[in-house]
Amino acid sequence: MRARHTAEHIAATLGVVPTPDPDLREQALGSLEGRLTSELSAEPTPDATHVSEVRWGGGESLEDVHRRLAAPIERARLTAYEHVVWVTHGDTMRVALARLDGRTHREVDWAPIGNGAVVSVTVARG
């Protein structure tokens, strides 16, 4: 909801209509959704599995998110517009940046992206 409201304000300022894209949603965390970190307990990563490939709480793994972001990245490459604005969540943006840089779901840079931060990238056109 926060991302949608932010997108609506940006779109109004730019004089365009926002287009919601469910592929830009935050990572689904299954039974962990809405829980405080103080309510959670550490779980071991299953043997022979990278932590980014576990679907914690039955939600999405980072691998799932990385795969899901292929579609909006391709749409951005193919759009007729010179500039595309994505309004999304920090973790989703970090995974998208990894994908845009040719990095895998195992190579996501977890440097903080603050609320309201602007991240600019140049994407090769399709």
Q: pTM for the full model?
A: 0.91
Q: What is the mean pLDDT of residues 100-109?
A: 96
Contacts of 78 (CB under 8 A, 6+ apart): 126
Give the model's confidence band at 82: pLDDT under 50 very low, under 70 low, under 90 confident, else very high. Answer: confident
Matching residue, tokens 């845009």: 100
In a domain? residue 37: no
45, pLDDT greater than 80: yes
Residue range 29-41, pLDDT digits in tens: 999 999 999 999 9
In total, how many domains does the chain have?
1
65, pLDDT greater than 90: yes
Contacts of 97 (CB under 8 A, 6+ apart): 108, 109, 119, 121
In a domain? residue 36: no
In a domain? residue 51: no
Range of the domain at 17: 1-25+56-126
In a domain? residue 16: yes
In a domain? residue 43: no
Q: What is the mean pLDDT of residues 33-54?
A: 95
Share of the chain above pLDDT 90, in %: 87
120, pLDDT greater than 80: yes
